[in-house]
Amino acid sequence: MTALSYLVIIFGYLALLLFIFGIIYRAWRWNRLPQGFSWGLFPKPTRWVVTSMLWKILAWPTLFKADRLLWAGALFFHLGLLVLFAGHLGSFIDIASLGERIGIPSESSYVIGITAGTIVAITILFYISRRLFIRRSSEISVFADHFWLWVLLVVVLVGIYSRVFHEVSSDAVRDFALSVVAFNPALPPQNFWFLMHVLLSEFFIIYAVIGKPIHLVGQLFTQYILVSEEGS
């Protein structure tokens, strides 16, 4: 087993551990933050709270009113990430077989994955260009704002390159992923670009817990608190 293979396995467990405990710790801290006084006489029904919270998180109505171009970029970015996440579930389950059952040919998964990855890469470049060339964005941007975007861009580009030019058998990837989950790690596919994609992804997950990307989880808690405190 190569040194890179060892790093992939070690960082995989480290990323998983830090992600789980990091989310729990962040949630605990967010829950302890001072909360505003509710002016409503009665709390909103749970169903209304959940529906309103999901609407504000998924549709970004405030962002739509403020900057529709940025709203469109965010929409494509998150939809692309969602497709990539679903595709990467193939590391644990046979996505191709499930797709064929609902009428999606296995060959289509390749095109869908590359398309989603390309969309994510383009939208990341869109975000970066805004922070570099739009004055109001560049003035409020700090190093961390640029860093996580560049790291994610490299992760996506390496993933696309690996998928197009150095494709690894999905069965081999699944066998390795399941062995890691079972705490009996097997030898990962010996493909440099695949291993680099996995290692960079693990690094991004570790950074996400302590950096800017964790904002999505924070938004869930924030929206829940704000919506649930609205009076009826």
Residue with tokens 């990323």: 15
CATH number, domain containing residue 170: 1.20.950.20
Note whether 168 and 221 are within 8 A (CB): no
Mean pLDDT computed over every residue of the chain: 81
Name the 3-class secondary structure at 38.
Answer: coil
* Crossing angle (nearest 10°) for helices 3-32 and 170-181: 60
Residue 149: what pLDDT?
Answer: 92
Q: Over 80: is that where the pLDDT of 212 sits?
A: no
Short-list 74, 92, 73, 94, CA closest to 182: 92
Give the residue numbers spanning the domain of 109. Answer: 3-228
Short-list 52, 23, 93, CA closest to 229: 52
pLDDT tens readout for residues 65-101: 888 999 999 999 999 999 998 888 877 776 666 666 6
Note whether 113 and 96 are within 8 A (CB): no
pLDDT tens readout for residues 102-136: 667 767 778 888 999 999 999 999 999 999 998 88
Can you give the pTM of this predicted structure? 0.81
Residue 231: what pLDDT?
Answer: 47
Amino acid (1-letter code) at residue 47: R
Name the domain count of the chain.
Answer: 1
Q: Structure tokens of 215?
A: 């904002």
